[in-house]
Structure 1
Amino acid sequence: MTGSPEGSHTEILRPDECWQYLRSSYIGRLAVINGDVPEIFPVNFSVAGETLLFRTAPGTKLRALLSGAVAALEVDGLNPYATEVWSVVAKGRPGPFDEGSMPLAETDADREPWEPGIKDHLIAITPTDLSGRRFAVSPRHRWWPPVDFSADWL
């Protein structure tokens, strides 16, 4: 594996691998700055080219997204056997989707938000910073607490 600290088995993902994982996913966590406070929201999203798209309604999230501050979308997943996990973080300046930049039909932007309610604002983030990592899951006995609750670790 490449780009890993000494002794670590974490693999740093190439940008094309990050995009492959993003295209295989549809839900992540959106981090925005609301004034001086970070806020994190679950969002379901679509990928169009190298742009991330999602719908939202007026409120805290939309105000923060349109404030001009950088936002981040983190997406995680695991392989079918749960032996390997990955995480991708895309950072960029969000803004309203520009319908002149690409046809909506090609973007899968009609994906319905999971949360009920009208979400009329289609937001786009074209990442200026994209990073990801992948690593094997350690055996359970290494990261779950002991079963014996009488142990003195409590």
Structure 2
Amino acid sequence: MSAHTDPIEMLTTDRSRELLGTQELGRLVTHVGDTIDIFPVNYVVDGDGILFRTAPGSKLFELTVNTEVLFEVDDHTDTDAWSVIVRGHATALEADADVHRADAAGLRPWIPTLKRVYVRIDPTSVSGRAFRRSAEPDRDGAQEY
């Protein structure tokens, strides 16, 4: 890699959405007032949105106070990495038809707990970046500008 090759690539929305479908674990970021929390959740892509399951607790409470969320998913190998950020609104599914459709998505808890509430994130934006991984550049000597 030359000194002028940028190791960071901005991904298109379509590529970012495609990468979301390759993983099962993401991080949900909520905020209520001055409190910001992050929760690991397993998920599935559902059309343009994202589905996860939860149980009553702080995560569900925070989503009822403020539906604005961030959702982040990433992956890496020895040579490449990527990260996708979804900004959107999360709402618990209440209509029977929505819950039955979500049941058909095959989303199951990773641990043996009852998580009866389906939550859907409807994105307002999806963005991503890809990274080429390699050794750190030499810190000493003359630097090119």
For the aligned pair, the TM-score class normalised by the smaller chain equals: 0.7 to 0.9
Q: How well do the aligned residues superpose, as a CA RMSD in angstroms?
A: 2.3
More displaced stretch, 30-39 vs 18-27: 30-39
Question: Is the contact between residue 47 and residue 107 of structure 1 (CA under 8 Å) also seen in structure 2?
Answer: no
- CA–CA distance in structure 2, aligned partners of residues 137 and 67 of structure 1: 40
- Counterpart among 47, 52, 56 of residue 54 in structure 2: 56
- Using a 3 Å threshold, how does the CA distance of structure 1 residues 130 and 99 change in structure 2: closer, same or farther? farther
- CA–CA distance in structure 2, aligned partners of residues 9 and 65 of structure 1: 36
Query: How many aligned positions are there?
Result: 133
- Counterpart among 79, 84, 87 of residue 83 in structure 2: 87
Question: Is the contact between residue 46 and residue 107 of structure 1 (CA under 8 Å) also seen in structure 2?
Answer: no
Aligned to 1:116: 112
- CA–CA distance in structure 1, aligned partners of residues 102 and 30 of structure 2: 28
State TM-score, norm by structure 2: 0.81
Say whether residues 1:126 and 2:122 are aligned partners.
yes
The one-letter code of the counterpart of 1:120 is: R
- CA–CA distance in structure 1, aligned partners of residues 15 and 45 of structure 2: 14
The one-letter code of the counterpart of 2:101 is: L
Structure 1 stretches of at least 4 aligned residues deviating more than 2 Å after TM superposition? 6-9, 97-103
CA apart distance, 1:99: 5.3
State TM-score, norm by structure 1: 0.76
Identity, in percent, stands at 35
CA apart distance, 1:138: 2.1
- Using a 3 Å threshold, how does the CA distance of structure 1 residues 106 and 42 change in structure 2: closer, same or farther? closer
Aligned to 1:73: 71
Structure 2 unmatched runs, 5+: 138-145
CA apart distance, 1:96: 1.6
